[in-house]
Amino acid sequence: QVQLVESGGGSVQARGSLRLSCTASGYTFSSYCLAWFRQAPRQEREWVVTINTDGNTRYAESVKGRFTISKDNAKNTLYLQMDSLKPEDTAMYYCARGRWRACLTTSSTYVYWGQGTQVTVSS
């Protein structure tokens, strides 16, 4: 049974930092694309960043230069380091596992999702 469990969310002031973690189980961690999405109240779920099995990354323009995705295959854990946070980064953040090794940015290509962790950035 595939499970993804996020942690690390919280409340922070603008220009602060947070590090999210996503621990996976139930499948071979290194064999699939992984991603972070986010969803703010009354908005659609938004792709944030992907990392494929080769470690190649792709970032949404809104977070490029501020967020860094990484993973530790030995620990089955995905990370999202978020720096220089802005109030508009406030959202529920989800990690997701893709269908394949390669990554796409559309949410429909992600099969498994975590329960989410809330990030709130105050001005």
State pLDDT tens for residues 9-51: 999 999 999 999 999 999 999 999 999 999 999 999 999 999 9
pLDDT bracket for residue 81 (50, 70, 90): very high
How is residue 114 annotated by DSSP? -
The amino acid occupying position 42 is: R
23: β partners = 5, 77
CA–CA separation, 25 vs 81, rounded Å? 21
**Across the chain, what does the average pLDDT equal?**
96
Asked if 2 contacts 27 with a C-beta cutoff of 8 angstroms, the reply is yes
Q: What is the mean pLDDT of residues 91-98?
A: 98
